Amino acid sequence: MAAGRAGRWFLLPGLVFLFAIDLIPLAYSGWISFYNWWLIRPRDIRFVGLANYARFADDPEFARAVVVTTAFTVGAVLVEFLAGLALALLFAQSFRFLRPIRVLLLLPLFVVPVVGATMWRVIFHPELGVLNYYLGVVGLGPVPWLSDAWRTIPFMFLVMYAGLEVLPAELFEAAAVDGASAWQSFRHITVPLLTYIMLLAILIRGMDAFREFDIIFVLTGGGPGTATQTMQMLNYRAFGLGHMGEANAIGMVTLIIVAVMCFVLMRAVLRPAHVASR
């Protein structure tokens, strides 16, 4: 017991580091969000309470940004999850010719998001893009590809594939002996055993997608018009105009939404383990 208590002191440096780089800036950001602070007038800092937050309730642009951010998050995570799960199920099969391709599927993980977004912008540009050029050659005309955002799926594939690799093969062999079809094995064995990993992957990608900025900024810049303007784009614009109180208020609202989303998903993640422990 004494050794266990002494071991807890080794956590202290990490906690101090976490407090210094995360909690202190977070508290400072929350404090600024209650003030009217415009960088053009750095000495004219006035306490306005919840006025910065109340402004969002009557701002249709902010409401639209929340809808766009939510739609992007749900759409991106759903497509990534389904595509990643399908690829994981495919590569979990005993096909030797698929093994070298697994490495190729992981390569997008090592591409810097801004570089990848710039590459896709060159390809999908509505007027100067390579893809639209060849579509015009065959008479299909230009397509406004950049009106929709994109996201790669290697992370989902990697997590799902790792989960499938550790599932006990004896259960699938017993199901096959009992005459279960591939769909029945997937529904009654794979999905229940993989639920924890699925929810965890959705949680991680959901947090990342909701805070997405660089790819949207490079691909569309929030346009056309405000069609792809997310909360992070509004935050960037507020910082660019020097409205520090409003910008930090947007950041705090984003934090609250992500925290609620994490709480709901974490309860869903921990529920199977809690039920299993009974």
Assign 3-class secondary structure to 191-246: HHHHHHHHHHHHHHHHHHHHCCCHHHHHHCCCCCCCCCCCHHHHHHHHHHCCEHHH
Residue 218 has a CB neighbour count (10 Å cut-off) of 17
The tens place of each residue's pLDDT in the chain, 278 residues long, gives 455 566 677 778 887 887 888 888 889 899 999 999 888 887 888 898 888 898 888 888 888 888 888 888 888 888 888 888 888 888 887 666 666 777 677 766 676 666 767 777 777 666 667 777 777 677 665 555 554 444 557 788 888 888 888 888 888 888 888 888 888 888 888 888 888 888 888 888 888 888 888 778 877 777 777 777 888 888 888 888 888 899 999 989 988 888 888 888 778 767 655 555 45
0.75 surpassed by pTM: no
Distance from C-alpha of 168 to C-alpha of 151, rounded to nearest angstrom: 32
Q: What is residue 278's predicted lDDT score, i.e. its pLDDT?
A: 54
Q: What is residue 248's predicted lDDT score, i.e. its pLDDT?
A: 92
The domain ranges of the chain are 59-277
Q: What is residue 6's predicted lDDT score, i.e. its pLDDT?
A: 67
Task: Give domain 59-277's CATH architecture.
Answer: Orthogonal Bundle (1.10)
Q: What is residue 8's predicted lDDT score, i.e. its pLDDT?
A: 75
